[in-house]
């Protein structure tokens, strides 16, 4: 079992989830019931899958959970782009979040390469 809390990819994913919730607070009431659930679920999924994968014994299983985390990061990026195009919420927070997600995607991809599968 690996200590996921020491992984930079997990730490950054936690920051992304927090920033996603902070962005969600800037949305209007009607928007909160539309895109917010999808965004927060995807953002929480990134760190959750890193943590769950760390409990797996095989590298292949671990790789799969990192792959799922990466998929959630791309899902969140898509939702950010939609919010951006609709000019929803605090756009500066949204741009910051977009950059953080792009960094996380690069880090997750690099981590996958280090797993050598």
pTM: 0.93
Q: Are 87 and 50 in contact (CB under 8 A)?
A: no
32 vs 88: CA distance, rounded Å: 10
CA 90, chain centre distance (Å): 19
The position carrying tokens 């998929």 is: 71
Q: How confident is the model at residue 30 (pLDDT cuts 50, 70, 90)?
A: confident
> Residues 79-91: pLDDT tens digits?
999 999 999 999 9
Among 9-18, 25-34, 66-75, 105-114, which stretch is predicted with the lowest mean pLDDT?
Answer: 25-34
In terms of CATH, what superfamily is 4-115? 23S rRNA-intervening sequence (1.20.1440.60)
- Closest listed residue to residue 10, CA positions, set 39, 45, 37: 45
Q: What is the residue-averaged pLDDT of the chain?
A: 93
Q: How confident is the model at residue 21 (pLDDT cuts 50, 70, 90)?
A: very high
């Amino acid at each position: 079992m690996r200590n996921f809390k020491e992984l930079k990819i997990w730490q950054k994913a936690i920051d992304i989830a927090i920033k996603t919730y902070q962005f969600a607070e800037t949305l209007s009431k009607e928007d909160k019931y539309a895109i917010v659930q999808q965004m927060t679920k995807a953002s929480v999924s990134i760190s959750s899958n890193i943590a769950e994968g760390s409990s797996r014994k095989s590298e292949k299983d671990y790789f799969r959970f990192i792959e799922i985390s990466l998929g959630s990061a791309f899902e969140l990026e898509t939702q950010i782009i939609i919010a951006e195009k609709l000019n929803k919420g605090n756009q500066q927070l949204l741009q910051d979040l977009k950059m953080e997600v792009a960094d996380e995607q690069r880090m997750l991809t690099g981590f996958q390469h280090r797993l050598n599968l």
